[in-house]
Amino acid sequence: MDQARLLPLGPSANALSRKREGHQHHTPIQPREAIAAVDQFFHGDFEIAYDKGLSSLPLTMKTRVFSGMQPSGNLHIGNYLGALKNWVRIQNDYECIFCIVDLHAITLYQDPAELRARIREMAALYLAAGIDPQQCSIMVQSAVAAHAELAWMLTCVTPVGWLERMTQYKAKAAKQESVGDGILQYPVLMAADILLYQAGIVPVGEDQAQHLELTRDIAQRFNSVYGDTFVVPGTSLPSVGARIMGLDDPTQKMSKSAEGTNHAVALLDPPDRIRKTIMRATTDSQPAVDLNNAGPGVLNLLAIYQAFGGASDEEMKARFIGMRYGELKKQVAEMVIAHLEPFQQRFRQITAEPGYLAGVLRAGAERVAPIANRTVQVVKERMGLYT
Ligand code: AMP
Ligand code: TRP
């Protein structure tokens, strides 16, 4: 099996990205938290937060990383640059668990056969991106019952007002006549995913930052009511690519569920289609790149190029300032294709190997279930539930 990795990038923290992403900052970090702030993420030292209650956890344990994606819709370059690519980059430095969050996916109706297929596909995409199943656990959320179990216990310490304030909840609820309770509870299940494993670092795209703040709030509330139980996790956003915008409308986040053929580049799109989508991307009324007046469409294309290729701000400026938009788009398209073609080849190899994916997912669940079950046991004890 070809487990070749995508090129590791150097850290590309920069002013370009700050400007582009409207200066998003994390909440200040508490001393006890295990931390990964934006620019420290790839080379910072992390404080190891550990649970004083779980005395069997050694002080020297490797910080645990947890993240996940929903097996709904087609993964796109936003998911890749915002999350997946960074998972690959840090997998050797931490103890990583990468989850396929099927229980989150069913908060909106999923065709059962399609969902089953997408879970497998998602596992293959993780592997094709370069996640090494020898180093990390790749698992499906519903394979470990403790996720749903802990979610209920956390629901009982979470005020409804906290959930109703979530912007993603408000946006999803506004689109529906009847709002399923799962849409409201969604971030509590996400908190359970993370807290079950005492994860210290959660690498995600910018749209999940609010859910992570809520996770911290829930952990802190539980710890203060029942005694220190959970590690309070830190958020990790990439400095470039944390929020990739739609190519047809750069004021909207690139999203799996958006309509329109020119909205996103899916990770499995063939090169011709990628070229077409990028060549049709919305720019602005200028003829060429001028960083002082660039609109969101142009900044988005630059972000995509920079996040894939790892160029520094200086290199980006030298290459692109004054370049006409047609040429800019060509270069972005070629950069994306150069990364996605080998990725797609690995995907095909992985899916052609019978039984391989099932084995990876089984091994992942078996490896993590004891950790999750132990946390649920401790939580039950703390809450006075029957054990
Ligand atoms: P989801 O598609 O909601 O399951 O998201 C999976 C991961 O991709 C999460 O970490 C998201 O924050 C990230 N993500 C989703 N959309 C984007 C985007 N447009 N730009 C950057 N990251 C994204
Ligand atoms: N809610 C996340 C998203 O839509 C997916 C997710 C579920 C997740 N559980 C998680 C991400 C735990 C990080 C950690 O992107």
| Residue owning the nearest CA to atom 7 of ligand 2 | 190
Q: Report the alpha-carbon distance of residue 343 to residue 341 in Å, rounded.
A: 5
Considering every ligand atom shown, identify the ligand nearest to the alpha carbon of residue 238 and give its number.
Answer: 1
For 11, 87, 90, the CA distances from 8, given in Å and listed in that order, are 9, 11, 10
Whether the full predicted model's pTM is greater than 0.85, yes or no, is yes
> How many other C-beta atoms can be found within 10 angstroms of the C-beta atom of residue 305?
22
- Class (C level, CATH) for 271-352: mainly alpha
Q: What are the contacts of 108-112 at 24+ separation with CB within 8 A?
A: 108/72, 108/172, 108/180, 108/183, 110/72
Q: Concatenate the DSSP letters of all residues of 328-363 into one string.
A: HHHHHHHHHHHHHHHHHHHHHHHHHSTTHHHHHHHH
Ligand 2 mutation target, pool 65, 67, 72, most atoms within 8 A of CB: 67
| Residue owning the nearest CA to atom 5 of ligand 1 | 69
Domain 34-55+62-243+354-383 and domain 271-352, same fold? Reply is no
Dihedral angle computed from the Cα positions of residues 24, 30, 33 and 34, in that order, rounded to the nearest 10 degrees:
50
Tell me, what's the pLDDT at 49? 32
Q: Is the pLDDT of residue 352 over 90?
A: yes
What are the sequence ranges of the domains in the chain?
34-55+62-243+354-383, 271-352
Tell me, what's the pLDDT at 1? 32
Q: Which residue has the tokens 């668990």?
A: 97
Reported as type and span, the H/E element at residue 366 is helix 356-383
Tell me, what's the pLDDT at 73? 87
**For the packed helices 112-129 and 325-352, what is the interaxial angle rounded to 10 degrees?**
110
> Residue 20 Cα, ligand 1 centroid: separation in angstroms?
17
> Which residues does residue 76 pair with via DSSP β-bridges, in sequence order?
266
> Which residues does residue 69 pair with via DSSP β-bridges, in sequence order?
100
> Residue 330 Cα, ligand 1 centroid: separation in angstroms?
25
pLDDT digits (tens, 9 = 90+) for 251-293: 999 999 877 889 999 999 999 999 999 999 999 999 999 999 9
Q: How many CA atoms lie within 13 A of 363 on its CB side?
A: 14
Contact 71, 119 (CB under 8 A): yes
Q: How far is CA 138 from the centre of its chain?
A: 14
**328-367 burial string, b = 16+ CB within 10 Å, else e?**
bbebbbebbbebbeebbebbebbbeeeebbeebbeebbee
> Residue 187 Cα, ligand 2 centroid: separation in angstroms?
8
Tell me, what's the pLDDT at 4? 28
Tell me, what's the pLDDT at 105? 98
Closest atom, ligand 2, to C-alpha of 190: 9
CB distance 172 to ligand 2 below 6 Å:
no
> Residue 228 Cα, ligand 1 centroid: separation in angstroms?
31
Phi, psi of 69 (to 5 degrees): -140, 155
Considering every ligand atom shown, identify the ligand nearest to the alpha carbon of residue 75 and give its number.
Answer: 1
CATH for 34-55+62-243+354-383 is 3.40.50.620
pLDDT digits (tens, 9 = 90+) for 28-73: 323 223 333 322 333 232 233 333 333 344 444 689 999 999 999 8
- Residues with active-site annotation: 172, 253, 256
Ligand 2 mutation target, pool 72, 87, 101, most atoms within 8 A of CB: 101
Closest atom, ligand 2, to C-alpha of 203: 13
At 185, list the tokens: 């509870």
Ligand 2 mutation target, pool 65, 72, 144, 211, most atoms within 8 A of CB: 211
DSSP strand pairing (201-203 vs 137-140):
unpaired
CB distance 79 to ligand 1 below 6 Å:
yes
For 152, 158, 166, 184, 217, the CA distances from 161, given in Å and listed in that order, are 17, 8, 9, 10, 13
Q: How many CA atoms lie within 13 A of 281 on its CB side?
A: 34
